[in-house]
């Protein structure tokens, strides 16, 4: 016997499938702390947004760490040690020493590579390299400005985005990564509603 299928039920099925197709994972920040370069090996990495909400992730025995971050926020990163926090700085080609970056997209992967401790800006400054170059020394930094997306594509180039980040004191202790985080991470998903501010996992 034929049983009529209501238009409302059909619309619900289509809506569910559409939502599933748009679902993307949070953007992840990964890296490897070069533990032996820090005066005291860091045990945690703490990422804080513009409202002061923090996400804390452990640093493994090999230095590896991963943090999932919600879009729509500016983030700063510190490495937590028993002798004090060490801020992660992002040296830019313009000479700026940024303390933060913006995430405006889900589904991106920001890989910092190896993160080294340095007691202030080295003599002669940092050597900022093109993203295609492989850093060979702690002072070499690849200014990628492009994030990788979960689907293998590249995120939007953010090199022309106005940089409103606060600056790190060039004479203070800091951590620097062999691959800079982009000034702004975007372009890894379709347009959609931003997540609520309270959806970040591990808030403190």
Q: Which residues contact 185 (CB under 8 A, 6 or more apart)?
A: 27, 101, 102, 103, 104, 105, 108, 110, 147, 155, 158
Do the bridges between strand 100-103 and strand 73-81 make them parallel or antiparallel, or are there none, so unpaired? antiparallel
User: Per-residue pLDDT averaged across 166-191, rounded?
Assistant: 83
pLDDT at res. 79: 98
Top mean-pLDDT range of 58-67, 119-128, 167-176: 58-67
pLDDT band at 99 (very low <50, low <70, confident <90, very high): very high
**Domain locations in the chain as residue ranges:** 25-190
Alpha-carbon distance of 204 to 195, in angstroms, equals 18
Q: Which tokens belong to 117? A: 């401790």
pLDDT of the residue at 180: 83
Is residue 8 scored above 70 in pLDDT? Answer: no
* Helical H segments across the chain, by residue range: 7-22
CATH code of domain 25-190: 2.60.40.10
- What is residue 129's predicted lDDT score, i.e. its pLDDT? 66
- Decide: helix, strand or coil at residue 74: strand
Q: How far apart are CA 19 and CA 172, in angstroms?
A: 47
Determine which of 19-23, 34-38, 93-97, 173-177 has the lowest per-residue pLDDT on average: 19-23
pLDDT cut 70: percent of the chain above it: 64
In the predicted model, what is the mean pLDDT of residues 10-37? 69
């Amino acid at each position: 016997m034929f049983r009529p299928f209501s238009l409302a039920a059909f619309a619900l099925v289509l809506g569910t499938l559409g939502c599933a197709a748009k679902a993307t994972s949070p953007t992840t920040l990964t890296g490897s702390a070069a533990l032996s370069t820090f005066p005291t090996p860091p045990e945690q990495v703490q990422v804080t947004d513009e409202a002061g909400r923090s996400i804390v992730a452990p640093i493994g025995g090999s230095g590896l760490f991963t943090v999932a971050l919600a879009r729509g926020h500016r983030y700063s990163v510190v490495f937590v040690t028993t002798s004090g926090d060490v801020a992660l700085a992002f040296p830019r080609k313009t000479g700026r020493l940024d303390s933060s970056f913006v995430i405006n997209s889900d589904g991106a992967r920001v890989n910092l590579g190896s993160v080294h401790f340095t007691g202030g800006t080295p003599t002669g400054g940092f050597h900022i390299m093109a993203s295609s170059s492989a850093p060979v020394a702690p002072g070499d930094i690849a200014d990628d400005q492009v994030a990788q997306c979960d689907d293998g594509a590249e995120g939007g180039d953010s090199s022309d985005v106005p940089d409103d980040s606060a600056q790190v004191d060039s004479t203070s202790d800091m951590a620097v990564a062999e691959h800079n985080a982009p000034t702004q991470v975007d372009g890894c998903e379709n347009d959609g509603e931003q997540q609520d501010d309270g959806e970040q996992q591990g808030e403190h």
